[in-house]
């Protein structure tokens, strides 16, 4: 019998349940309209589950495709763990060994704190907080930890052991002004001695084979120094992460055999070649083929994609999202794609920055069937890819809204926190009535219209070259501003997307200002600056319109009974301000104006008013809901006949975060 299978069977008895017990707590059986989304809560985190509507309506071939693509994503899970920090996997192995083998007092506060620490590490795919990038501090002593190590015969020492308690590598990604952002970041995209100037000099000496179609240098590699010389370690079959990539390729080849159409199959074949070779030209070829493959019920994201975890925005984190089309919602929202050119022509950006032809923007609402890497446990709610500007301009892009993820978020919380921070009953009424719809519309406009809009001036380098550490937050803010400009416009009602454009727009404006000015601060420790790209963009957008609308009292700061509120007095004038800021943000991107980007972000998006922050945290203390949420994935279990052929894929909803994390480590720990 396979050793991994033996260990997996033993694993089932390590936790507190039995794999053979039909009433065990690994899974839930309630899949009705009363589906329970909440799984667990600890520290500042909530674990949810998402439902997969329509699974049983898929054909066997479609189920196989989803299963193979999901397995391919999970096979690369450890890549992301290692990308985030060089000691993450070694630390995880040690912590999990303690968790599985400790037989002492599990009712003590120390043990409970150890469990929370492990869960936080699982959630963040490493020892740095998934959002703040700060190193997670354990709330147990080093003496207690040593006892755990000794009692479980855990082999754990050296730098990986030391870093849990010391002051080294405290920030995974450091985007602070005035420091060497590469050298001061613990993220494992670079060797510990590589500097920002090293990176700049290395890539400035590389020539693009085709300047009109620039390759994404650095996207799929780690940059290190060997004997004083800079060298790329490329992610590929015979290179860095080869063991995991071998498994990814295995599952992608199986997926190719059950592809829904030739375009889908061709894209998968190119993706396999990319993983085999690490050739960035093949990555672009794949992105083009993937973008054109718009038919079929199943789609996916797989690869080294988003660059948020790189302090200078070059290197892609591994991620996968496997998607099933939601046909009804996709039909309703495809109208945005069909009218993308109208939105471009009627936006506030300068004429020379508008695209003459917005090409191939496809938009779908999908239901997630599985996620991994940078998309799990914490997941986006919408995605627009590919990221290469030249592909967006010449071929187009795909935008998706993750419908069942948004539904899970909307159905897992309570209204208590909302009541605390809205200014009046009307703001509360609008949010209750239109909040979910306005969020859907904002996401759709952000992804389809926002990211597709605008063009660079001739001769201007890519944003990663020109805007550097500000690239990501400027791009997300620019897309937000497009969405904000058009969500308060009769066009969305004329297109049949809403029944009351004005109230939907008012709801969106209220929620955006409330979040950007106040409620997102719940996610920060008192005294912290804003680091995360999306939080920064919401803050600099809100702070800019607040300051520039003061003369007309567009947004009023109200202090009542010692509590701060922000009330919008003039929605029409606020829309004008959003349009003005959109124009300037697009100019910054189109011209590659680094100084203006730095001024905008540093002035409005980074520093936090200490007194306001303290007040917000105090007001939030009475609410039990966690500020961050993530998900366990459903488990896809193949059913075989006597000839070992798959005759069905069963979907099970997981009820234990611990079980899934341990199961993933055992089945997909290819880099341990």
**515-545 burial string, b = 16+ CB within 10 Å, else e?**
bbbbbbbbbbeeeeebbbbbbbbbbbbbbbb
* φ, ψ dihedrals at 200, nearest 5°: -60, -45
State what percent of residues in the chain have pLDDT above 90: 85
Phi and psi torsions of 425, nearest 5°? -65, -35
3-state secondary structure of 574: helix
Least reliable range by pLDDT among 1-5, 406-410, 515-519, 589-593: 1-5
Name the helix (H) or strand (E) containing 321: strand 318-325
pLDDT, one tens digit per residue, over 175-234 is 899 999 999 999 999 999 999 999 999 999 999 999 999 999 999 999 999 999 999 999
DSSP category for residue 240: B
CB 609 within 8 A of CB 628: no
Backbone φ and ψ for 195, nearest 5 degrees, come out as: -105, 170
pLDDT at site 14: 41
The structure tokens 């952002």 sit at 181
Look at 158-162, 245-249, 254-258, 465-469 and tell me which has the smallest mean pLDDT.
465-469
pTM (2 d.p.) = 0.83
Residue (of 329, 230, 316) closest to 280 by Cα position: 316
Q: What share of the chain is helix, strand, coil (3-state, %, to 5)?
A: 50, 15, 35
For the stretch 81-104, pLDDT in tens is: 999 999 999 999 999 999 999 999
Q: Residue 631: exposed, middle, or buried by beta-carbon count in 10 A (0-12, 13-18, 19+)?
A: buried
Residue with tokens 């493959």: 293
Query: pLDDT (tens digit, 9 = 90+) per residue, 401-459?
Result: 899 998 898 888 667 889 999 999 999 999 999 998 999 899 999 999 999 999 999 99
Instruction: Please write the tens of the pLDDT for every residue from 607-632.
Output: 999 999 999 999 999 887 888 999 99
Sheet holding 318-325, edge to edge: 298-304, 318-325, 361-373, 397-402, 382-385
Dump pLDDT digits (tens) for 33-45. Answer: 678 999 999 999 9
DSSP state string for 624-671 = -S-SEEEEEPPEEEEEE-TTS-EEEEEEEEE--HHHHHHHHHHHH-TT
What pLDDT is recorded for position 168?
97
Q: What sections of 279-388 are H helices per DSSP? A: 280-292, 327-338, 340-345
The tokens describing 397, both together, are 């892009």
Strand partners, 225: 230
Helix (H) / strand (E) containing 40: strand 38-42
What are residue 56's phi and psi, to 5 degrees? -70, -10
Answer for the pair 634, 654: CB distance below 8 angstroms, yes or no.
Answer: yes
Half-sphere exposure of 507 (CA within 13 A, CB side): 22
Please provide the average confidence, as pLDDT, over all residues in the chain: 93
CB atoms under 10 Å from CB of 494, counted, come to 11
Of 389, 371, 256, 378, which Cα lies nearest the Cα of 324? 371
Question: Which pLDDT belongs to residue 360?
Answer: 66
User: What pLDDT, on a 0 to 100 scale, did the predictor assign at position 22?
Assistant: 40
**Cα separation, 194 vs 36, whole angstroms:** 47
Over 255-312, what HEC string results?
A: HHHCCCCHHHHHHHHHHHHHHHHCCHHHHHHHHHHHHHCCCCCEEEEEEECCCCCCCC
pLDDT surpassing 70 at residue 10: no
**3-state SS class at 598:** helix
């Amino acid at each position: 019998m396979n050793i991994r299978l033996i260990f997996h069977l033993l694993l089932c008895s390590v936790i507190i349940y039995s794999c053979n017990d039909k009433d065990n707590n690994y899974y839930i059986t309630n899949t009705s309209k009363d589906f329970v989304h909440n799984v667990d809560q600890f520290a500042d985190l909530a674990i949810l589950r998402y439902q997969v509507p329509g699974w049983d309506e898929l054909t066997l071939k479609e189920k196989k495709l989803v299963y193979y693509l999901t397995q391919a994503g999970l096979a690369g899970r450890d890549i992301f763990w290692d990308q985030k920090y060089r000691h993450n996997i070694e630390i995880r192995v040690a912590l999990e060994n303690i968790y599985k083998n400790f037989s002492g007092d599990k009712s003590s506060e120390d043990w409970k704190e150890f469990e929370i620490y492990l869960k936080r590490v699982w959630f963040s795919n490493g020892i740095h907080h998934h959002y703040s990038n700060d190193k997670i501090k354990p709330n147990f002593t080093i003496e207690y930890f040593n006892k755990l190590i000794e009692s479980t015969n855990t082999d754990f020492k050296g730098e990986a052991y030391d870093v849990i308690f010391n002051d080294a590598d405290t920030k995974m990604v450091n985007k602070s002004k005035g420091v060497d952002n590469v050298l001061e970041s613990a993220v494992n995209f670079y060797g510990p001695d590589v500097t920002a100037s090293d990176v700049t000099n290395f890539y400035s000496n590389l020539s693009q084979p085709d300047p009109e179609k620039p390759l994404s240098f650095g996207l799929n590699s780690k940059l290190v120094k060997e004997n004083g010389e800079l060298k790329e370690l490329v992610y590929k079959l015979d290179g860095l992460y080869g063991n995991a990539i071998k498994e990814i390729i295995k599952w992608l080849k199986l997926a190719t055999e059950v592809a829904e159409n030739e375009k889908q199959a061709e894209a998968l074949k190119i993706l396999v070649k990319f993983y085999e070779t690490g050739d960035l030209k093949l990555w672009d070829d794949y992105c083009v083929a993937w973008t054109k493959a718009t038919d079929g019920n199943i789609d996916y994201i797989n690869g080294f994609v988003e660059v948020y975890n790189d302090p200078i925005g070059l290197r892609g984190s591994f991620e996968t999202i496997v998607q099933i089309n939601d046909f009804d919602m996709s039909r309703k929202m495809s109208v945005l794609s069909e009218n993308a050119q109208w939105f471009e022509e009627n936006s506030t950006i300068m004429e020379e920055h508008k695209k003459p032809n917005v090409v191939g923007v496809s938009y779908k609402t999908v239901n997630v069937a599985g996620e991994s890497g940078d998309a799990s446990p914490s997941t986006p709610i919408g995605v627009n890819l590919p990221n290469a500007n030249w592909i967006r301009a010449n071929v187009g892009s795909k935008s998706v809204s993750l419908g069942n993820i948004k539904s899970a978020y909307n159905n897992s919380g309570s209204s208590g926190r909302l009541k605390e921070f809205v200014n009046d009953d009307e703001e509360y009424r609008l949010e209750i009535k239109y909040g979910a719809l306005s969020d859907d519309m904002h996401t759709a406009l952000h992804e389809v219209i926002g990211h597709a809009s605008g063009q660079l001036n001739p001769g201007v380098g890519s944003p990663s070259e020109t805007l550097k550490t500000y690239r990501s937050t400027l791009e997300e803010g620019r897309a937000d501003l497009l969405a904000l400009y058009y969500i308060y416009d009769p066009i969305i009602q004329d297109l049949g997307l809403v029944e009351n454009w004005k109230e939907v727009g008012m709801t969106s404006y209220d929620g955006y200002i409330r979040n950007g000015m106040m409620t997102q601060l719940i996610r920060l420790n008192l005294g912290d600056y804003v680091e995360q790209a999306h939080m920064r963009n919401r803050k600099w957008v809100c702070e800019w319109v607040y300051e520039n609308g003061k003369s007309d009292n567009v947004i009023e700061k109200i202090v009542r009974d010692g509590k701060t509120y922000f009330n919008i007095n003039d929605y029409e004038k606020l829309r004008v301000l959003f349009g003005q800021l959109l124009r300037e943000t697009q100019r910054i991107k189109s011209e590659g104006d680094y100084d203006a980007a730095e001024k905008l972000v540093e002035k409005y998006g980074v520093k936090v008013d200490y007194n306001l922050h303290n007040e917000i945290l105090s007001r939030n203390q009475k609410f039990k809901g966690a500020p961050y949420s993530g998900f366990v994935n459903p488990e896809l279990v193949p059913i075989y006949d006597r000839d070992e052929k798959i005759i069905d894929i069963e979907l099970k909803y997981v009820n234990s975060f611990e079980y899934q994390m341990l199961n993933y480590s055992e089945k997909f720990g290819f880099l341990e």
